[in-house]
Amino acid sequence: MIAKNTLYSILDLALVSKNYTLKQTFNNSLKLAQSAELFGYKRYWLAEHHNAENIGSSATSVLIGYVAEGTKTIRVGSGGIMLPNHSPLIIAEQFGTLGSLYPNRIDLGLGRAPGTDRETAEAIRSDFMDAAHAFPNELEKIQDYFAIGNSTAKVRATVAEGVNVPIYILGSSTDSAHLAAKNGKPYAFASHFATTHLWNALDIYRKEFKPSFEQDKPYVIVGLNVIIADTDEEAERLSTSLIKLILGLFTGKREPVQPPTEMTNDLRGILQNPQVHQMLKYSFIGSKATVKPQIREFMEQTKADEFIAVTNIYDVNDRIKSYKLFAEIMDELIG
């Protein structure tokens, strides 16, 4: 049975496409969020990444504020903030401020990966590995800074105390599932690229979940790639930009997102590479008629409370159309 209350959201990296400036890129992110608001999406999250020419969401909290200011009802947040890169105090102050500016609309998704290469992670924070291992304690600090009871502490994030900013645990392995369950937090799994541990992670999270003050039962968000167009052939053509993006990831050539081309045998060959094939396992590419039954099956398998969709293609108008068609599919499936 399909859960009748399955929600749908967007995860964005503010991808920088060839021949687009950063300003145009940020404007396109806002345009996408505004469109998503009209289409019925629950939330729009931005992911923290660094030292990547094709990703514009490095200053994540700043961009969240820009998008929140230009929208009215959609929730806006991080998917996620990579906490080992930062001081928990500073993150609490940033998101407490955002939560006051845009009440009941800001989410704080937290992860422990660096969102970059090792050299850049060390440039961000020389003790990154220690901070990554301390992630559970750093999470506790964040929660304390948002608590009203922290008003008597010697160290305070005064702009965060009592502000309603829900915390989500992000993950791509089973470690995060244990942590989210132990703390009674909603859990978002990055199965749009990290597919190997999806089922084990969901099983662990649901079995080990301990109710908290904020969350009385498990809440699962599952990531997936979607590229939907009027025809299967057009969706396949649009997906060539994604294939080249992933090829650049594996070869270290992270150039701006390339315009789509016709599908070639070489590009099909890249899709058959075992690593690429595994990474794109939960990708849904095609027309509405093709993708809808696949989405239905994935919903039944995951029993997700929410899907968070990633559409990494070249043109913002094609992205908006794809997200519109995905929203239509979801609305038709959940009734």
Which CATH number characterizes residue 214's domain? 3.20.20.30
Q: Is the pLDDT of residue 280 over 70?
A: yes
Is the pTM value of this prediction over 0.85?
Answer: yes
251, pLDDT greater than 90 = no
Q: Residue 140's closest CA among 175, 184, 99?
A: 184
65's CB contacts (< 8 A; 6+ apart) are 98, 101, 102
Q: What is the pLDDT of residues 202-242, one digit of tens each?
A: 999 999 999 999 899 999 999 999 999 999 999 999 999 99
Is residue 252 situated within a structural domain? Answer: yes
pLDDT in tens, 143-165: 999 999 999 999 999 999 999 99
Residue 91's nearest CA partner among 52, 123, 135, 51 is 135
The answer on pLDDT for 1 being more than 50 is no
Whether 2 has a pLDDT exceeding 70, the answer reads no
β-strand 43-46 against 167-171: which pairing, if any? unpaired
- Structure confidence by residue, pLDDT tens digits, 95-135: 999 999 999 999 999 999 877 788 887 887 778 788 788 99
Residue 329 — very low, low, confident or very high, per pLDDT cuts 50/70/90? very high
- Residue 302 domain-assigned (yes or no): yes
Share of the chain above pLDDT 90, in %: 88
Domain contains 1: no
- Judge whether 2 lies within some domain: no
Q: Note whether residue 227 is domain-resident.
A: yes
**What is residue 4's predicted lDDT score, i.e. its pLDDT?**
57
217 in any annotated domain: yes
- Work out the angle at residue 196's Cα, subtended by the Cα atoms of residues 235 and 114, and round it to the nearest 5 degrees: 90
- Two structure tokens written together for 267: 């590009």
Task: Say if residue 3's pLDDT is above 60.
Answer: no
Report the pLDDT averaged over residues 275-304: 96
Q: Which residues are CB-neighbours of 334 under 8 A, at least 6 positions away?
A: 2, 3, 4, 5, 6
User: Domain limits at 61?
Assistant: 7-334
Per-residue pLDDT reduced to its tens digit, 16-53: 999 999 999 999 999 999 999 999 999 999 999 999 99
Q: Domain count for the chain, please give it.
A: 1
- Asked whether residue 35 is domain-assigned, the answer is yes
